[in-house]
Structure 1
Amino acid sequence: MSASCDEDGARMFARYAYAPNELGYCGPADAPRTLLTAGAAGAAGAAGAAGAAGAAGATGAAGTAGAAEATGAASATGSAGAGGAGATEGDLRALARRFHGAWPYLRILARLTGIDDPLDRRVVEAYWLGGGVSEAVDPREFGAALLAVIGPQAGWYWRHLTPQILDEAAPNHCFHVFGVYPWSRLLDSPDPTGPLHVLDSCRIRWGQVTERDSDHVVVRSAGLTWENGRLGLSGPRPLRAALVTGGVSFAPDVRPGEWVALHWDRVSSRLTDGQATTLRRDTVTQLELTNRRLARTREAGPAGEALTRQVRDDA
């Protein structure tokens, strides 16, 4: 599909980083309002530009779901255009560098793809949604470079960050959730409900809008499952998600039938058909790699059990 406008990568980063930051899970504590208002600026054109950045090239799918996004945010909420006035690109760039989880991915992915700017839209989209420029990157090379950065930072707290995770490495947020974060290693605990909820909420999930009111949408979205020692995806099921936060929306004129990206049950942006397809494909791939690692841990017997206890204690 053709892009109606050129979405700035820093603002795309803001849309996806906002939800966990506002909830206090990652990034600087003084960032939420800046991310919210900056992410809303130009939100009506977000998916059109992002789809042109590489998702269609990654999947061959015809991206059509974001075609309506050029109509303008002000007509839907009146807040998007005004909301970004207080945040400059410099503000966003300074904030992005303080996201110690995401920033190394962006920086390393940019370097390995020969892109000068870690907040280039192509890099940001590949990190959050998969596909695109990340497909030219060797996963193990990326993983080794990432470990060299985050391993010393994590120290004893995340002792599971060893070269063994290179088998499941990928230059995207999905790997960060399932491979780097400790939660997948807690699924074999007596009650996996908590870890499963965190994993399902933290991953970027796709959903198709079926209903909307002023502040929420209902989408049909595949949920994360944990059955017989394996992670998987359910069939599409209804999920109510926040569309407006603090009077601001990142997809103010979204309509039933369109695809959206969800982060912690909040709408981060529209998705094109191609982006949704790529996100699903890379999520399924990551789940399979994670399942293989979990199976190896169980097969290790007492050593694997000791590792699980260690991660549980560290968490």
Structure 2
Amino acid sequence: MFSATNRVLTADGVFLCSRYAYPPNSLSLCGPDRHEELSYYSATALIDKGTGEILQNFSTLYPYLCLIAYQNNIRNPLDRQVIEAYWLGNALLEKVKTRNFADLLKDKLMLKKMKPRQLKRIFNFFPQIPLPHHSFHVLAVWRRTGHLDIPHTLETMDACLINWGKILGFDGNQSIKIESQKLEFCKGKMCFKKKIIRSVIFQGKDDILRNNLKKGDYISCHWGYFCQKLSLRQLNDLKYYTRYSLNVINT
């Protein structure tokens, strides 16, 4: 059983995960067809048992969370540390063994139907220290396998990545203007074009996190939606693990 403190932490983790899971779910790209409920949870932070049940039905997301939690002896896959590890990146990723990561991709993410040479091609791109980070799944697994739900272009990968940016201003109550970066091809490799302007929308008119933002803050975004305000540590972690995944792909 979780203590009262653990229940609070779990609810915090569920809310944070909802912030990142809702954007693609709203576009019917992943997860169960329950985007109206997930939108409510994500925008209001009013979390209940149903929130966790929705997140457990994300066929790609939840196995990643279970792997990270198990490898770090964390009982609940929806613990905030685990959620941050997958979406933003943190030290928990360093403790995941390559063998276990490979098993996840084969057994849980429908790659076991692939031919041996295709699997070998994927595993050859694993770094010495495995990183089951969201950016790795976007850049490596999707790109190398062709296991796609929509026609996969560079623009799609850029939208699917968790991007970061500095707030330049606000467009009324609808969106945020940020200075960010964009995924591009540079001499046959993927890179980030810096200092591009993005317009990021709030997660509904009642977005509970909108009032804590000001010009100069750094935020994260997913599929064009504002996810959260980033601390310096979170910003640095997101930059580090995303760029690490990018370097793996370009090697």
- The TM-score with structure 1 as length reference comes to 0.68
Paired with 1:259 and 1:160, the residues of 2 have a C-alpha distance of: 42
Counterpart of 2:108 in 1: which secondary structure?
A: helix
Task: Report runs of 4+ in structure 1 exceeding 3 Å deviation.
Answer: 154-161, 182-186
Letter in 1 for 2:135: C
Verify the 8 A CA contact 2:89 2:237 in the aligned structure 1.
yes
Kindly indicate whether residue 64 of structure 2 is the aligned counterpart of residue 141 of structure 1: no
Partner in structure 2 of residue 121 of structure 1: 80
Verify the 8 A CA contact 1:109 1:118 in the aligned structure 2.
yes
Q: How does 1:47-62 map to 2 (within 5 A)?
A: none
Q: How does 1:285-300 map to 2 (within 5 A)?
A: 285-292=244-251
Paired with 2:199 and 2:19, the residues of 1 have a C-alpha distance of: 19
Deviations 1:179-200 (A, max 9, x none): 12137869xxxxxx96100110
Query: Larger % of helix: which?
Result: 1
Higher relative contact order (CA 8 A, sep 6+): 1
Distance of aligned partners of 1:33 and 1:160 in 2 relative to their CA distance in 1, 3 Å threshold: farther
Distance of aligned partners of 1:214 and 1:158 in 2 relative to their CA distance in 1, 3 Å threshold: farther
In structure 1, stretches of 5+ residues that fail to align are 43-83, 187-192, 293-315
In structure 2, stretches of 5+ residues that fail to align are 1-7
Partner in structure 2 of residue 110 of structure 1: 69
Deviations 1:243-302 (A, max 9, x none): 242x2325211111111110001101111111111111111111111112xxxxxxxxxx
Q: How does 1:218-229 map to 2 (within 5 A)?
A: 218-229=177-188
Deviations 1:116-165 (A, max 9, x none): 00001100110000113223333x234223124235x3455898861432
Partner in structure 1 of residue 35 of structure 2: 32
Q: Which has the larger radius of gyration?
A: 1
Counterpart of 2:221 in 1: which secondary structure?
A: strand
Verify the 8 A CA contact 2:164 2:221 in the aligned structure 1.
yes
Considering only aligned residues, what root-mean-square deviation do their CA atoms show, in Å? 2.5
Distance of aligned partners of 1:38 and 1:161 in 2 relative to their CA distance in 1, 3 Å threshold: farther
Deviations 1:165-212 (A, max 9, x none): 2333522111110112137869xxxxxx96100110001011111101
Verify the 8 A CA contact 2:43 2:207 in the aligned structure 1.
yes
Partner in structure 2 of residue 199 of structure 1: 157
Kindly indicate whether residue 132 of structure 2 is the aligned counterpart of residue 171 of structure 1: yes
* Aligned partner of 2:240 among 281, 289, 293: 281
